[in-house]
Structure 1
Amino acid sequence: MDDGDGYFGERVAARYDDPADERFDPGVVAATVDVLAELAGGGRALELGVGTGRIALPLAGRGVPVHGVDLSRAMVARLRAKPGGDAIGVTIGDFATTRVAGTFSLAYLVYNTIMNLTSQAEQVACFRTVAAHLAPGGCFVVEVEVPLLRKLPPGENVVLWHTGPTRWAYDVYDTATQATISNYVKVVDGRGEFRSIPFRYVWPAELDLMAQLAGLRLRDRWAGWAGEPFTHESTGHVSIWEKPASRVSPTGSG
C-alpha cells in the first residue's frame, strides 16, 4: 500500500471534500451512517481509511465512538480542522496491518477503499486484522464496486467512466492480476493535470473467502445502503460479515 503522501498527500487532501461529488450528498452520507450506527449498537466503531472524516464525523455525531486508521497525515489534518475532528481518535498506519487498543463492535471500509490495498495478500491481511479487533458478534462492513469488466470492449482493457468539459477519468485493467490503474485528466485555464492511482479489484465471492479465512461469516449483502437486493446487474455492493459469538462448551465436554 502507498505511504499516503504519494496518492493522498496535501494536493489531493486540499480538494478531496468536493460538495459536487455524490459521496458528499447529505442523503448518501445519512443512509450510510444510519446503517453503521445501527450495526454499532452502542459500541465502538473502527473506520479503516478514515480520510477527512466524511463518515466518521456524522457517525460520531450520532453518539458512536469512532477510531480511524489512515496512512495520510494530510487527510487526517483536514479531519482535525473540522468541528468535532479532535474527538476522533486516529492511528497513522497501513490499515491492512495496523492494530489499535481495545475491541470494536463495528469496523468498516467505504467507497472502494478496500481496493487501495493492491495485492490479495494485503486484502487478506486486512480481514484478519479486522477480525482481531472485533468483539464476538461484531460486524465488518465493506462498500465496494463490482468490477466493471463487462464494460470492457472486446480485446480492450480500458474503461472510460467519466467525461466532462474539463475532466475525464478512465481505468486500465490487467485481468491476469486484477490490478487496476485509475487515471484522472483535468484541464484548468488551458493547463492539463494528470494523476493515476493503483487499485486491485476484488469479486464478492473472493471477499467472502477472505472473510472465511479470518473467521468471519457473511450476514448480508445489498446493492446499496438502502438494503436493495444484490443481483447480477448490481454495480456495487455493501457486504456485512459477522464475527461469531463465542461458544461455551457444554459441561463435561472435552
Structure 2
Amino acid sequence: MEHADVWDERTAQAYDAELGAMGSAAVLGPTLDRLVELAEGGAALELAIGTGRVGVPLAARGIRVSGIELSEPMLARLRTKADAEHVPVVVGDMAHARVPGEFALVYLVFNTISNLLEQSEQVACFRNAAAHLAPGGRFVVELWVPDLQRLPPDRTAAIFSVEPGRIGLDTYDVLLQHVVSHHFRFGEGTEAELFRSRHRYVWPAELDLMAQLAGFALEHRWADWDGSPFTATSGSHVSVYRLPVDGT
C-alpha cells in the first residue's frame, strides 16, 4: 500500500478528530516550547507537516514555518487553518523534496520517519534535512522505541492499545524491521472499521548512525519534549541532532 493510499481524503478528514492526547494542550505545549527554544529565532521546516497539528500553532508563536507534505488531502486540511503565505508547503516526499531558503531548525514529529519503509530512504531523509539547514542548524526527530519485549516467542503480533471502541494491534517482520499497525474501530453494532499503516522501526543507535552519515552529531536525547531523561525503559524519545557550527 502506497503512502497516498493510506493518507487519503477519508483519513485526512478524520485525522484531527482522532488525535486524542496528541492534539491536547498538555502535549502540544511542551512540544511548541521546545521547538521555539531550539529554533533560536530562526526559520523552521517541518517534514511531513500533515494537517498542521504542530506547524500551525508554532507559526502562531512567531516562528517562520515551512513544510513538506506528500498527501494533498492532508495539506488541504492544513489550508483550512493557515494560508500559503503564513505556512508555505511544498508537495513532495520528505526524503527528497526541497524547500527554498535556509533554516535553523528542521523537525519530524510523531514517529513519522518510520513511514519511510527502507533504510536508504530514512538515510536520505537525514541528508535532506541537512541540506536545508544553516551551519549549526538542528534536526529534531520524535520517535518511538521498538518494543519487541511485548512480542511473545514465536509470535508476530502484539496488542498495543485497548480502549472503548478501539483496539490496536501491531504485526512485525523482524527481518525487515517492518511493522503494520492495525487500528480496529467499532461501535455498539456488529460493524467495524480497520485502518492500517506500515512502518519501518528504527533503534536509537541506528538513528544516530544515520545522523552521522548526514554530518550531524547528537546534541540531546530526551524521553519527551519536557526534557525528561531518556532511560532503558523509555517508550519513545526526542533526539536533537546538530550540524557543525563552522559548516565543515
Equivalent residues of 1:56, 1:66 under 8 A apart: yes
Q: Give the C-alpha shift of residue 204 in structure 1.
A: 0.4
**2:186 aligned with 1:187:** yes
Q: Which protein shows a greater Rg?
A: 1
How much is the aligned-residue C-alpha RMSD, in angstroms? 1.6
Report Cα offsets for 1:219-254 as digits up to 9, x if no partner.
000000110111111110000000101169xxxxxx
Kindly provide the amino acid, as one letter, of the partner of residue 77 in structure 1. A
Partner-residue secondary structure (3-state), 2:36: helix
Partner-residue secondary structure (3-state), 1:156: coil
Mapping for residues 17-56 of structure 1, pairs under 5 Å: 17-18=16-17, 21-56=20-55
Partner-residue secondary structure (3-state), 1:14: helix
Equivalent residues of 2:135, 2:247 under 8 A apart: no
- Give the direction of change, closer, same or farther, for the CA distance of 1:83–1:125 in structure 2 (3 Å limit): closer
Equivalent residues of 2:46, 2:106 under 8 A apart: yes
Distance 2:226 2:113 in 1: 21
Give 1:210's aligned residue. 210
Distance 1:176 1:70 in 2: 29
Distance 1:85 1:187 in 2: 37
Q: Between the two proteins, what is the percent identity of the paired residues?
A: 48
- Give the direction of change, closer, same or farther, for the CA distance of 1:99–1:58 in structure 2 (3 Å limit): same
- Give the direction of change, closer, same or farther, for the CA distance of 1:143–1:184 in structure 2 (3 Å limit): same
Give 2:228's aligned residue. 228
Give 1:89's aligned residue. 88
Mapping for residues 91-130 of structure 1, pairs under 5 Å: 91-130=90-129
Distance 1:111 1:38 in 2: 19
Q: Give the C-alpha shift of residue 148 in structure 1.
A: 1.1
Distance 2:3 2:237 in 1: 27
Structure 2 portions without partners, runs of 5+: none
Give 2:200's aligned residue. 200
Q: Give the C-alpha shift of residue 182 in structure 1.
A: 0.6
Distance 2:212 2:7 in 1: 31
Q: Give the C-alpha shift of residue 31 in structure 1.
A: 0.4
Kindly provide the amino acid, as one letter, of the partner of residue 88 in structure 1. V
Report Cα offsets for 1:82-127 as digits up to 9, x if no partner.
1567511000000011111111000000010010001101000000
Distance 1:115 1:158 in 2: 18
- Give the direction of change, closer, same or farther, for the CA distance of 1:85–1:38 in structure 2 (3 Å limit): same
- Give the direction of change, closer, same or farther, for the CA distance of 1:162–1:214 in structure 2 (3 Å limit): same
Greater mean deviation of Cα atoms: 90-99 or 183-192: 183-192
Distance 1:203 1:133 in 2: 25
- Give the direction of change, closer, same or farther, for the CA distance of 1:3–1:183 in structure 2 (3 Å limit): closer
Instruction: Give TM-score, length-normalised by structure 2.
Output: 0.95
Partner-residue secondary structure (3-state), 2:2: coil
Q: Give the C-alpha shift of residue 194 in structure 1.
A: 1.4
Q: Give the C-alpha shift of residue 20 in structure 1.
A: 6.2
Instruction: Give TM-score, length-normalised by structure 1.
Output: 0.93
Distance 1:93 1:85 in 2: 15
Aligned pair count reads 247
